[in-house]
Amino acid sequence: MILCLGSINVDHVYRVPRIPVPGETLATTAYSRGLGGKGANQSVAAARQGAIVRHIGAIGADGAWTLAELAAAGVDCVHVASLDAATGHAIIAVDDAGENAILIHPGANAAQSPSAIAAAIDAAGPGDTLMLQNETDRQVEAAARAAAGGLRVIYSAAPFDAAATAAVLPHVAILVLNAGEAAALAAAGIAPACTMVVTRGAAGADWRPPDGPPLHVPAFPVTPVDTTGAGDCFTGTLAAALDAGLPPAAAMRRAAAAAAIQVTRAGAAAAMPTAAEVDAVLARG
């Protein structure tokens, strides 16, 4: 089973010919609204790969539809609270090459309930997984409680914050970062003692254990449409594969295939592929 303490956002997505530069006003070519947030994205990605997923989070009264979408993807939302606060949201600009620029308002994501988190983690057990990111509060308490209970803690240090990352790391089994975040971690003088997974977009991804040789998995070549949520797709799929008992090499390859599918579609959570779709890509080699 996978628990995910993570953000639930309303994504406001604007298509633009290019990412605007500071001071520039740019007309958009399209607009859409969808489910997002790193936590929700990872939960949906893992659930669509067949994992049992329970999301821990919070929304406002304006976000009831986000729970319906999570449930439709197979995510258990019994531990999601409805608060007297706005649901988190993101303003996302996506250019013609599929690259993005994102602004996030945390809203209810920054008001997590310690008792709800404890109840969810205490209902899990050794061998289960907890996924975390930096778009909520209470990460340190959750990671410590999960690690003490024998859960595998997978932590996406994004949006990157050196102090927040350093506080969570003692309880982490697998740290997931993109190449820029990995460089920022090194620049901050933080040397993790856990396994690191570094995603590099079209250059593939690396599995770096604390002892033993590193593993590199190449990306599947595709033409991206929208890279929003690609890292979350990779992480959620990796968590599901490891939870199912796959070894690192197979789990990483499965995650790479899922991310390759996801970036060929518009949207974040809605673009996460199913297990059958990933199987088809892997079967083609």
Q: Which helix (H) or strand (E) holds 130?
A: strand 129-132
Q: What is the DSSP letter of 194?
A: S
**CB-based burial of residue 88 (10 Å sphere; 0-12 exposed, 13-18 middle, 19+ buried)?**
buried
Q: Is 232 a catalytic residue?
A: yes
The CA-based dihedral angle spanning residues 102, 241, 219, 224, taken in that order and rounded to the nearest 10 degrees: -40
Q: 11, 137, 226, 232: which one is catalytic? A: 232
- DSSP state letters, 148-190: HTTPEEEEE--S--HHHHHHHGGG-SEEEEEHHHHHHHHHTT-
CA 94 to mean position of chain CA atoms: 18
User: CA-to-CA distance for 36 and 272, rounded, in angstroms?
Assistant: 11
Angle value at C-alpha 136, between 261 and 202, nearest 5 degrees: 25
Catalytically active residues, by annotation: 232
